[in-house]
Amino acid sequence: MTKTDDDWNFSNYVHDKLARPYIYGILKWKVININENVIKNLDINHGIDHILENEKGIRIHVQERFRDNFYKAYCDATLRYRRDFNPNPERIKSEFYKIKADYLVYGITNGKKFADQRNTLTGFIKWVVLDLKFIKEKINSGFIKIITRSGKRTCWVENKILHCPENLNPDGSSSFLPFDIKLINDLWGQQPIVAQKGFL
């Protein structure tokens, strides 16, 4: 099994066993069963992992990212950004560029991601549902700036602008952007934060 396959298996497990009851259940969002090939296409091309429906019958498109308890000290939600060393030019720009999901559902679980330790996954230490359209609008209007090669790993605020550093993953395969939930709340309040537990 490849690392990617293992990550997918972990994400699917957390979606089924934890996100459905402990996030979507609280929000009263219902997961819509979609043809597997359709969902794969939405994921690859638009960064959409699942389609849900709220109490009013309005469909919601979400991108999910889950972490195990190794990441419990971090205060941000992350999105994959670039794969500059990928031999396929179409895959250099990662989910940040293509994402059309309405919300990022990000959670830090209370157990380990490894297949032989899935029994340790019984809940979330923290989770957040972040309005991606709000975040993209702030990026487009200059109130969130992406900073490359800053030497910093976490976000900071200058002149009421949120600066988010591009961080390289340890294996060098890709980079990601952290979005500090507390700083987002300090700048814009609850508007971009649909719901959360443990971040604030």
Segment 66-99, tens digit of pLDDT: 999 999 999 999 998 876 555 565 665 666 778 8
Q: Binning pLDDT at 50, 70 and 90, where does residue 175 land?
A: confident
Q: Is 49 exposed, middle or buried (0-12, 13-18, 19+ CB in 10 A)?
A: buried
pTM over 0.75: yes
pLDDT on residue 50: 96
Q: What is the pLDDT of residue 5?
A: 62
The domain tally of the chain equals 1
For range 188-194, the mean pLDDT: 97
Chain center to CA of 130: 8
- Among candidate residues 135, 157, 134, the one with its CA nearest the CA of residue 147: 157
The predicted pLDDT at position 56 comes to 96
Kindly indicate the confidence band of residue 180, based on its pLDDT and cuts at 50, 70 and 90: very high
Identify the domain containing residue 59 by its residue range. Answer: 3-197
Tokens coding 126: 């923290």
Residue recorded with tokens 């993209």: 136
The tens digit of pLDDT for each residue in 7-35 reads 789 999 999 999 999 999 999 999 999 98
